[in-house]
Amino acid sequence: MTRIYPPSVVAKFGGTSVADFDAMNRSASIVLADHDVRLVVLSASAGVTNLLVELSEGLETHQQLDKLETLRAIQYNIISRLKQPSVISTEIDNLLNNIRHLAQTATISPSDALSDELVSHGELMSSLLFTEVLRERHAEAGWFDARSVMRTNSNFGCAEPELSTLHHQVETHLLPRLEQAIMVTQGFIGRDAAGHTTTLGRGGSDYTATLLGEALHAARVDIWTDVAGIYTTDPRIAPRAKRIDHISFSEASNMAAYGAKVLHPATLLPAMRKSIPVFVGSSKDIAAGGTLVHNTTDNPPRYRALAVRRKQTLLRLHSLDTQPSCSFLAQVFTILSHHAVTVDLVTTSENCIALALDATHATSGEDHVLTTALFTALSSHCRVEVETGLALVTLVGNQLTQATGVCKDVFAWLEEHTVRMICHGASNDNLCILLPADAADSAVKTLHYRLFE
Ligand code: ADP
Ligand code: ASP
Ligand code: MG
């Protein structure tokens, strides 16, 4: 069984925590201050993944040159602050050259596989630079290519890790190196069986950290970001949001699944399987403390938090059969499963099924989910209506289905909004409301004021 001895900590730093040299230096101080940190998982520097995604979509030459120049500037702002820039600049130049070639290919024949290959360069560059920052601070630090252990399927843009292979590879390749030095690796990226680079979906570095934490039986996983913990809602929307000091896996996992961006939706699954506590804190202000996510909390409150998931699409499928038929649901879900479409919200009427689809996490966006092949398959059974530009606001709590008056109050507070769909009852612990995207912030502010302030 794979274990790091003594039980150790995996520390993950998000984009803002490795945005520039000063941020990297602060993050390096966090790593060096805690001797239990053996493995560091990094995101790309802030903004880099977005630039790479744009390049992977195939840009006009002048736009391409602009983006390439911006990328180069981000890397060289860091390199120029190193004591010995030449140690690393050749490797970064090679990666920047690869990016340029791949971006040119993307203008001729873009593909999801090419996109993942291109996008992976953000994490490759930040991890090389961070390793150098640690070494210049006299740490024994090594760079580790996460793709050599993170085997995934070939679902480019939102690949699923293969756990048994991952655990075996970690034991064989990563564990021995952790015994010698602090290892710095990339979040977000993996490799399929054919050797192609894959990505775990936007924000996927959190997931990498807990997956590796699970494989190593880590004592804790620390997620360092730009906010001092998990709050009752996104503090950017409701500045009076309060930090939650302790939260259970199931509550935080529910928040993440319903859009609390502070954690990738799948982050807590590996941690839950092995009961590994996950700490969330700000790399800019470690004294501010943070949130500890663990097995249970005392007296879980009725209302815990509000989450919002943007870029939602409502599909309404009207059966072509005039008579209500029990096979309609079966046909539709068979097609959805065949096209790997995950549905977490559904309501039905006699002849119509309404589904909310989420495209937030696929690196390649909405088109990845709503393919022509899907529409063709559906259209032989139903008329398809698509409504985009929606957002899902979710109240996460405990035993909400046992509470009286929740719906009455929530709907009264949201009376000025056009509610497009509601889901309540399937889960005891959340109430989901789909509404126009431009109403989401105001709905969250209103609900937050009423429920938490
Ligand atoms: P990183 O790049 O470090 O992974 P992210 O931008 O992915 O950081 O996540 C941090 C952001 O998550 C915060 O800046 C905040 O705006 C947002 N966020 C959304 N919901 C919450 C919440 N409930 N608590 C804290 N932050 C939240
Ligand atoms: N760099 C990737 C993104 O921006 C993964 C991550 O940061 O977690 O989505
Ligand atoms: Mg993130």
CB 190 within 8 A of CB 147: yes
**Cα dihedral sign, 29-32-35-37:** positive
Burial class, 258, CB count within 10 angstroms (exposed 0-12 / middle 13-18 / buried 19+): buried
CATH 3.30.2130.10 residue ranges for the chain = 303-452
CA distance 430 to 450: 17
Check whether 14 is labelled as a binding-site residue.
yes
- Specify the residue with its C-alpha closest to ligand 2, atom 5: 203
User: What is the CATH code of the structural domain delimited by 303-452?
Assistant: 3.30.2130.10
Q: What is the pLDDT along the chain (453 residues), one digit of tens a residue?
A: 555 666 699 999 999 999 999 999 999 999 999 999 999 999 999 999 999 999 999 999 999 999 999 999 999 999 999 999 999 999 999 999 999 999 999 999 999 999 999 999 999 999 999 999 999 999 999 999 999 999 999 999 999 999 999 999 999 999 999 999 999 999 999 999 999 999 999 999 999 999 999 999 999 999 999 999 999 999 999 999 999 999 999 999 999 999 999 999 999 999 999 999 999 999 999 999 999 999 987 889 999 999 999 999 999 999 998 776 778 989 999 999 998 888 878 998 888 999 998 876 666 655 567 788 999 999 999 999 999 999 999 999 999 988 888 888 999 999 999 999 999 888 889 999 999 999 999 999 999 999 999
How far does residue 138's CA lie from ligand 3's centre (Å)?
29
236 assigned to a ligand binding site:
yes
Task: Please identify, by atom number, the ligand 2 atom nearest to the C-alpha of residue 43.
Answer: 7
226 is in an annotated binding site: yes
- 231 carries a ligand binding annotation: yes
Residue type, 405: G
Residues 14 and 229: their CA atoms lie apart, in Å, by 13
Ranges in the chain annotated CATH 3.40.1160.10: 9-226
CATH domain 9-226 topology: Carbamate kinase (3.40.1160)
Residue 408 burial class via C-beta count within 10 angstroms: exposed 0-12, middle 13-18, buried 19 and up: exposed
- Render 61-80 in DSSP notation, one character per residue: HHHHHHHHHHHHHHHHHHHT
pLDDT in tens, 72-121: 999 999 999 999 999 999 999 999 999 999 999 999 999 999 999 999 99
Distance, in Å, from the CA atom of 78 to the CA atom of 42, rounded to the nearest integer, reads 15
Work out whether strand 189-191 and strand 220-225 pair parallel, antiparallel, or are unpaired.
unpaired
Q: Which of 380, 254, 385, 366 is nearest to 315 (CA)?
A: 385
3-state secondary structure of 258: coil
For atom 6 of ligand 2, which residue has the closest CA? Answer: 203
Residue 365 CA to ligand 2 centre (angstroms): 14
Query: Using omega within 30 degrees of 0 as the cis cutoff, is the peptide bond preceding 6 cis?
Result: yes
Pairing of strands 182-186, 141-144: parallel
Encoded tokens for 90: 């050749």
Residue 404 has a CB neighbour count (10 Å cut-off) of: 6
Could you say which DSSP state residue 45 is in? P
Place of tokens 């046909």: 331
Q: Which residues line ligand 1 (CB under 6 A)?
A: 14-17, 43, 203, 225-227, 230-231, 233-236, 260-262, 305
Residue 340 to residue 327: CA distance in whole angstroms: 20
Q: Do the beta carbons of residue 225 and residue 282 sit within 8 Å?
A: yes
Query: What is the average pLDDT score of the chain?
Result: 94
End-to-end CA distance of the chain: give it in Å, rounded: 47
Residue 446 corresponds to which tokens in the numbers above? Answer: 């209103």
Atom nearest to 46 CA in ligand 1: 2
CB within 8 Å of 158: residues ≥ 6 apart: 199, 200, 201, 361, 362, 363, 368
How does DSSP assign 190-255, residue by residue? Answer: EE-TTS-EEE--TTTHHHHHHHHHHHHT-SEEEEEESSSS-BSS-TTT-TT--B-SEEEHHHHHHH
* Cα 217 to averaged position of ligand 1 atoms, centre (Å): 26
Which residue shows structure tokens 């199931």?
250
Which mutation among 230, 237, 245, 262 tests ligand 1's pocket best, with the greatest number of atoms within 8 A of CB?
262
pLDDT, position 342? 81
Strands 345-348 and 352-358: antiparallel
Distance 188 CA to ligand 2 centre (A): 6
| Residues 169, 189: Cα–Cα separation, whole Å | 15
Which residues form the pocket of ligand 2, taking CB atoms under 6 Å from any ligand atom?
A: 14-15, 43-44, 49, 122, 187-188, 202-205
